[in-house]
Structure 1
Amino acid sequence: MPANSLTDIQQILFIRPGGIGDAVLLIPAIQVLRLRYPHAKIEVLAEKRNAVIFELCPQVDKIFCYDRWRDWKRLFCSSYDLIIDTEQWHYLSAVIARLLRAPVRLGFATNARSKLFTHPVSYSHDDYEVFSFYHLLHPLGTVCSRELNSPFLTVPEAVKSATELLDSVSEGYVVLFPGASIQERRWGERKFVALAEKIAALGFPLVIVGGDDDLTVGEAVEKNVVSAKNMAGKTSLLETASILRGATLLISGDSGVLHMAVGLGIRTVSLFGPGIAKKWAPSGHRHTVINHHLPCSPCTRFGTTPPCPIGAKCLQDMTVDEVFTAAETLLHSHA
């Protein structure tokens, strides 16, 4: 890499297609690069489904979307010194990085896409995804810590506060997120209702968050637990972040909401089965990961989970008492 390629970087583009979790866990790398190039303009090319996450990162100057066609003209009229494609497997983002013709292009060398980068970077399923994104910065001479500083997300001031959104819910509430992108990662309505009843008996109010697909579970919890408030399908993603910021604890499966809670510095109990815990599960004494480590799990690779012939036994064998005990321990922890 020519010396002036490093010193003359004024315009940077991160490419981040995909889901919410990848977008959240990319943000620490963006913040590291902001420290390295404090005067550079940092832009992100995302998708409508995950673009709003970058509004939680004040270091990002502009957000473009794949699926917003007016953005393409702006992209191709821009001139970039550095493009970092953070997609782990698919080709489209690598092709876009090549077409935009930046002199320095970094990306994961997981397949033939590596030929489209000036500096292809290795990728491992054994690294926490934050550290995989840090690894993309190594060709720039950037050395990143193997520690994750949290919180690293910032809820914009314009977003309603948890107090405004939740009205009568008292402080110290526990958030439940029953959702998942696929059925194999859903723990189930009856288990979440039973768990909510046990947590409520400890004196903690509960808030259920999620999308329209989580309405039924949220309504069931609210019906059975007096101190529960169902917000599933009622808030934007940024408003969900605001609710999480005020929580004592989040209980969730392997999800983007889980990563948002980690980024906001909130304690979590997470349920892992199909997903790769080494890559996606938070670590540290403020986080408890429940994982039965069945011989067939994890079965997800590069975002694809095959249909399970045994009914997602890795997740469904987790008991309400098991999850409650983990939650109770963290709720009584002062760390």
Structure 2
Amino acid sequence: MKVLLWKIGALGDVVMTTPLVRQLRRQLPGAQIDYLVGRSFRAVLEGNPHLDRVIDFDDGILFGAHAARLRDIRAKLRGYDVIYVLDKHWIFTWLAWLAGAPRRIGYRRRAIEGWPNTASVPFGALRTDVDYYLDLLEAAGLPVDRADRRLELPPAVPYAVPGPYVVAINAGGNNPGETSDVRQLPRPLFEGLVAHLASRRQVVFLGSRSERAYYEPFAAYGAINLCGTTSLPQSWGVLAQAEAVYTTDTGLMHMAAAVNANVLGIFGPTHPLRKCPPGARWVWKAEPMHDPDYERFGRVPKGEFFERMTLEDILRHSTV
């Protein structure tokens, strides 16, 4: 049997699928299991022991709406007995159908999105993403272990940082398909957190090269700015050795939870009962403003989602 898991991204969302990958292999030990993922996000699957192959495609085809190149994706979907469609937008289910896979297991937010599937999971109720991914196994008629929720990453690469240290991350909402800052703490609140942490531990910042300038003003607190200087495997090494990780809802939050048991997620527009990774703690004060369409359909909400949150709210959940 040839099985394909298909998801475009992003980094944290792909990491949240790894319990599904592991349990699928457990139930189908003799199957060929491949994962088709957007090229920008394949690093979090490289070397996964439960996959036979990681195949990538140009995610710009879909994020950039290049309809003429959809045939390139369809060609990579052909030849499989079963396709697990891990994204919810109708284009993914319809492409799996056009590729001719006999079984297509995916989600149904609206009728047009679920119609091409041979088995569909209704999507919308407030449940963690990990459980929604595991629902696809049940839809396929396979047993599910709801207690097996551990996230997995490829091996980390050590990166020397003077310790003991904590990692602080203020990012999120800057992904292909979305460019916003709605998940980021206001600068004064984040600076208060950095000042508190720096009075007790060395503070380290992680992120992309484009995020480096944001953290530069906090050098006055003696923080180490690693943004843009580490590879992804090196960043996992930094996260793994941290005494604690304080992070907004971003891909690094999910990666941190895969390698560190002391992660505090700081949430704004997204609901922690859906987006918080297994094992992490969370703080959230924006429930009255929560718009579920952000998580269901990707419609970026408007508002000040951290205006009710104080530094004391965060420190109440702190271990440092």
Name the TM tier (shorter chain): 0.7 to 0.9
Q: Is the alpha carbon distance of 1:319 and 1:216 closer, same or farther for their aligned partners in structure 2, counting shifts above 3 Å?
A: farther
> Given the alignment of the two structures, is residue 174 of structure 1 paired with residue 166 of structure 2, yes or no?
yes
In the alignment, which residue of structure 1 is the partner of 2:182? 184
Deviation at 1:149, TM superposition (A): 4.0
Q: Is the alpha carbon distance of 1:324 and 1:214 closer, same or farther for their aligned partners in structure 2, counting shifts above 3 Å?
A: farther
Q: Is the alpha carbon distance of 1:265 and 1:11 closer, same or farther for their aligned partners in structure 2, counting shifts above 3 Å?
A: farther
> Given the alignment of the two structures, is residue 32 of structure 1 paired with residue 23 of structure 2, yes or no?
yes
Letter in 2 for 1:179: A
In the alignment, which residue of structure 2 is the partner of 1:261? 256
Identify unmatched segments of 5+ residues in structure 1.
Answer: 1-9
Letter in 2 for 1:45: L
Superposition RMSD in Å: 2.4
In the alignment, which residue of structure 2 is the partner of 1:245? 240
Taking the TM superposition and a 5 Å limit, the aligned residue runs for 1:98-137 are 98-111=97-110, 112-137=112-137
Deviation at 1:307, TM superposition (A): 4.4
Q: Is the alpha carbon distance of 1:254 and 1:305 closer, same or farther for their aligned partners in structure 2, counting shifts above 3 Å?
A: farther
In the alignment, which residue of structure 1 is the partner of 2:221? 225
State the alpha-carbon separation in 2 of the partners of residues 233 and 125 from structure 1.
37
In the alignment, which residue of structure 1 is the partner of 2:81? 81
Identify unmatched segments of 5+ residues in structure 2.
Answer: 60-68, 174-179
TM-score normalised by L of structure 2: 0.85
In the alignment, which residue of structure 2 is the partner of 1:6? none
In the alignment, which residue of structure 1 is the partner of 2:285? 292
In the alignment, which residue of structure 1 is the partner of 2:309? 318
Q: Is the alpha carbon distance of 1:197 and 1:283 closer, same or farther for their aligned partners in structure 2, counting shifts above 3 Å?
A: same
Secondary structure, counterpart of 2:296 in structure 1:
coil
Deviation at 1:216, TM superposition (A): 2.4
Question: Aligned pair count?
Answer: 302
Q: Percent identity?
A: 23
Secondary structure, counterpart of 1:183 in structure 2:
coil
Offset from partner CA, 1:172-192 (integer Å, 9 cap, x none): 321111111221111033332
In the alignment, which residue of structure 1 is the partner of 2:64? none
State the alpha-carbon separation in 1 of the partners of residues 125 and 232 from structure 2.
28
Q: Is the alpha carbon distance of 1:66 and 1:302 closer, same or farther for their aligned partners in structure 2, counting shifts above 3 Å?
A: farther
State the alpha-carbon separation in 2 of the partners of residues 272 and 134 from structure 1.
24
Deviation at 1:92, TM superposition (A): 1.9
Letter in 1 for 2:38: E
Letter in 2 for 1:232: C
In the alignment, which residue of structure 2 is the partner of 1:5? none
Letter in 1 for 2:76: L
Deviation at 1:125, TM superposition (A): 3.4
Does the CA contact (< 8 Å) of 1:193 and 1:220 recur in 2? no
Deviation at 1:296, TM superposition (A): 2.1
Taking the TM superposition and a 5 Å limit, the aligned residue runs for 1:276-287 are 276-282=271-277, 287=280
In the alignment, which residue of structure 1 is the partner of 2:8? 17
Runs of 4+ displaced beyond 3 Å: 68-74
Deviation at 1:74, TM superposition (A): 6.3
Secondary structure, counterpart of 1:243 in structure 2:
helix
- Match for residue 198 of structure 1 among 187, 190, 196: 196
In the alignment, which residue of structure 2 is the partner of 1:138? 138
Offset from partner CA, 1:194-213 (integer Å, 9 cap, x none): 212211222x2221001134
In the alignment, which residue of structure 1 is the partner of 2:176? none
Deviation at 1:11, TM superposition (A): 1.2
State the alpha-carbon separation in 2 of the partners of residues 229 and 87 from structure 1.
36
